[in-house]
Amino acid sequence: MIFFKNYFDDMSKSISSGNELNLKKMAEFIEESSSKGNRVWIAGNGGSAGIAGHVAVDFTKAAGVPCTTFHDPSLITCFANDYGYENWLKECVRKYISKDDIIILISSSGSSANIVNAAKLANEIGCSIYTFTGFKSKNALSSQSKTNFHLASSNYNLIEMSHHIWLLSVVDYIVELRKNK
């Protein structure tokens, strides 16, 4: 029983460590940008890809913010085959994203080559980038973004679930903003 109490306490502290002001600013920027017709893109690997898929659906359905992932197996395998796994997402950025769009990149380690390479190209294009990382606060991905949401932990599940909840809080805040308009 002590394991679960400690685990839930750690989870609660992790979720609460999210920067509320930056989450609010992110939500307001996404809401304003999408109302001008700009798109939101979101991507990650593994569990973070699952988070990206869920959040994209909720942005689109619940908040009315068009949001898309790049997690179609045909797209991944085609681009990974042609450009290398470390560049498949970068090539998606090249083919799909414009400078007025927003991209959200999730990497627990902050060092996934395909995510970092995509962020570098997104910076060259000039679109807005938000990143979600864990482990070390200074990582390759965090320096590439407009705002990095970092969880100081090395526990993948705490990191991923905190990222998930922080992103869904942004969705719910946008829903609330649009209700009050």
Residue 123 lies in a domain: yes
Mean pLDDT of the region 8-35: 95
Residue numbers of the domain that contains 99: 37-172
Q: Is pLDDT above 80 for 45?
A: yes
Is 96 a member of any domain?
yes
Over 90: is that where the pLDDT of 147 sits? Answer: yes
- pLDDT category at 146 given cuts 50, 70, 90 is confident
Residues of 110-131 as b/e, b for ≥16 C-beta within 10 angstroms? bebbbbbbbbebbbeeebbbbb
Is 99 a domain residue?
Answer: yes
Q: Residue 25: phi, psi to the nearest 5?
A: -60, -40
pLDDT of residue 156 exceeding 80, the answer is yes
Question: Hey, which residues does 129 pair with through a beta bridge?
Answer: 103
Identify whether 95 is part of a domain: yes
pLDDT for 161 equals: 97
For the chain, give the mean pLDDT. Answer: 96
**Residue 65 near residue 41, CB atoms below 8 Å:** no
Q: Is 80 left (phi over 0), alpha (psi -120 to 50) or beta?
A: alpha
Band (pLDDT 50/70/90 cuts) for residue 180 is confident
Number of folded domains that form the chain:
1
**Tokens, residue 3:** 């394991």
The CATH number of residue 153's host domain is 3.40.50.10490
Q: Do the domain assignments include residue 89? A: yes
181 pLDDT more than 90: no
In the chain, % of residues over pLDDT 70: 100
Position 29 confidence tier, pLDDT thresholds 50, 70, 90:
very high
What pLDDT band is residue 107 in, cutting at 50, 70 and 90?
Answer: very high
CA-nearest of 128, 157, 155 to 144 is 128
Kindly state whether residue 122 falls inside one of the protein's structural domains: yes
Q: Please measure the distance between the N-terminal and C-terminal CA atoms of the chain and give it in whole angstroms.
A: 46
In-domain check, residue 127? yes
Give 119-131 pLDDT, tens digit per residue: 999 999 999 999 9
- Whether 28 is in a domain gets the answer no
Q: What is d(CA 175, CA 160) in angstroms, rounded to the nearest whole number? A: 23
Name the residue with tokens 């470390």: 86
Write phi, then psi, for 99 (nearest 5 degrees): -65, -25
